[in-house]
Every structure is written in C-alpha cells, then in structure tokens.
Amino acid sequence: MRIGWIGAGIMGKPMVRHLHHHGHEVHVYARHPEKVQDLKEEGIFIQKDIPALVSHVDVIGTMVGFPQDVREVYAQLFKVLRPGMTCIDFTTSDPKLAIELSKAGAEKQIQILDAPVTGGDVGAQNGTLTILVGGQKEAFESMMPIFSAFGQEIHHCGKAGSGQKVKIANQIMIANTLQGICEAFSYCKGQGLDPALVIECLQHGAAGSRQLSLLGEKMLQNDYAPGFYIKHFVKDLKIALSQDQIQLNGVENVIREYLDLIDQGYGEKGTQALIQAFQSNH
C-alpha cells in the first residue's frame, strides 16, 4: 500500500518503520525534517508539505499530540484529500472530534477511522501495540495490512468515536493503577519495608499489572525517562473528565497530582514520575 504519515515522534516513528519493513511504500511529512532524516536514510520518502504527501499516497495515518493538533492537521488534509481515500488517526483524541471528522470525511467520500493505540513506546518498537478502531467495519477490514504491521491486538470497537472511548477507558484504568502502585510503595516505606517487595512478591499475583512490571522498578530507581509523556497522559485524562459521564474520582485525584508535577517541570517525563508526587507530599 502507498501510505502517508504525519507525526513521526516517540510512537509514530517506530510505527512508520514497521510499515516500511512490511513492504509498504511509506511517505512522511514532518514539520521538522531534520528529526526524520534517519527515516530517509532507511528508504522512507520525506515530503515537503501535506499536499505533496497526499499526492503520493492512497492512505494517510496521523499520530500527533493533542486534539487541537488533530483538528489542525485534518483541516489541511481536507483541502487536498481525494474521494475514495482513507485516513486513520492513531492519536488518542476526543471521541467527539473523531465523530466530527468522520462526518466531515463522509461528505467528501473519505473514510476516517479513529484508531488510538496502547502499549507505549515499547509496544510501538516491538510491533505489539493494541489498536482500538472506531468507524465503518468495511474500512477497518480494508486497513488490516496497516494495523497488522505494528499491532498484535486489533479490535473494531464500533462506530466512529468508539475507538477513542475504549482508549479513554484504558487510560482511566492506568491512572488508577499507577495511583495504587504509588500508594503501595508509600505504605511499605512507612511500615519500614523495602518497597521493592511489592514488585518481587506481588507482580505475578492478583495485584500484578503491566504498569507494576514495566514501571515499578523505574519508580524505585527515579528513572523518569518517557515511554509515555506526562503531558500527553494529562491530555487523555482531561478528555475523560470532559465526557459527561459519572464522576471519575480516581482520575480527578491523579490529574491534580500530575498537574502539580507539570508545574514542577515534569511534563516531558514518563508517567512513572507520579511517584515523585508521593515522595514530596505523602
């Protein structure tokens, strides 16, 4: 397939590489071309702007940071997309925006799927992401060669916006899990126990989780290198709080702690830096 890509960052770049390694013809547009020079050296095409990108491809994948970035990118794309094309937004974004874009695309005979992913940078690098897709089932099935290039678990979640809604549910669970890990570590420390016992003794039991296994040790080592940025996680949690659902008490607590960390300069650290809020305030 001829695939265009916008957003070759910490997640997008390895996803692009997987597409290339699976034999797809991949074209990338980046606002800062110097950041994708390595992709060019690997045989991936770099285009100077969005119109040039669209002219070379049949499918567009986007993986940008925030809903406003999604809106801005698609405002430009809608000027040059051709009827019959398909766009897949892999950004974790607002379900309402996903529905809006799907409707706008349909008016132009363009299929737009929302397909947020989970699995972090490790999943992107290993090609083991979980992909949560909203939109027409036929379009979902036709894009399977793209999804299977970097996805291990690939799910059609329903109509437009459904992929985003399931991803937000994922982020709610992660937020509360991270909070629980930090509280458990703090409890052990207060009881005179080594918090590392939480990982050693509990990671394979009922309280085990991928967050504990992947990030617990990093918390204890004060290793805050980002697999997923705090600033992006806060964006996701704000979307959760904006959905007019039941009160999300756990999310409200966690987001306050993360906003405090952002004020302290932790916005581009990994989500495991939540432990810093407990070391400071608990």
pLDDT digit string, tens, across residues 17-59: 999 999 999 999 998 999 999 999 999 999 999 999 999 999 9
Residue environment code for 154-167, b if the CB has 16+ CB neighbours within 10 A, otherwise e: bbbbeebbbbbbbb
What CATH number is given to the structural domain containing 236? 1.10.1040.10
Residues 6+ apart with CB under 8 A from 143: 59, 86, 88, 113
Query: What span, in angstroms and rounded, lies between the C-alpha atoms of 3 and 26?
Result: 5
Mean pLDDT of 209-238: 94
Query: What span, in angstroms and rounded, lies between the C-alpha atoms of 262 and 252?
Result: 15
Active site residue: 13, 40, 165, 167, which one? 167
The answer to whether residues 100 and 34 belong to one domain is yes
What CATH number is given to the structural domain containing 25? 3.40.50.720
Query: What span, in angstroms and rounded, lies between the C-alpha atoms of 182 and 176?
Result: 10
pLDDT digits (tens, 9 = 90+) for 59-101: 999 999 899 999 999 999 999 999 999 999 999 999 999 999 9
The answer to whether residues 182 and 125 belong to one domain is no
**φ/ψ (deg, to 5) at 46:** -110, 125
The answer to whether residues 83 and 209 belong to one domain is no
pTM for the full model?
A: 0.92
Across the chain, mean pLDDT equals: 95
Active site residue 48: no
Token pair of 120, please? 């972090």
The number of folded domains in the chain is 2
For residue 246, is pLDDT > 90?
no
pLDDT at 243: 81
The answer to whether residues 174 and 267 belong to one domain is yes
The single residue listed with the structure tokens 């770049």 is 13
- Please tell me the number of Cα atoms within 13 Å of 188 on its side-chain side: 16
DSSP secondary structure code for residue 270 in this structure? B
- Structural domain of residue 18, as residue ranges? 2-160
Last residue of a domain, one of 160, 188, 223: 160
pLDDT at 277: 94
The single residue listed with the structure tokens 């099935």 is 141
For residue 281, is pLDDT > 60?
no
- The 3-class secondary structure across 106-173, one letter per residue, is HHCCCEEEECCEECHHHHHHHCCEEEEEECCHHHHHHCHHHHHHHEEEEEEEECCCHHHHHHHHHHHH
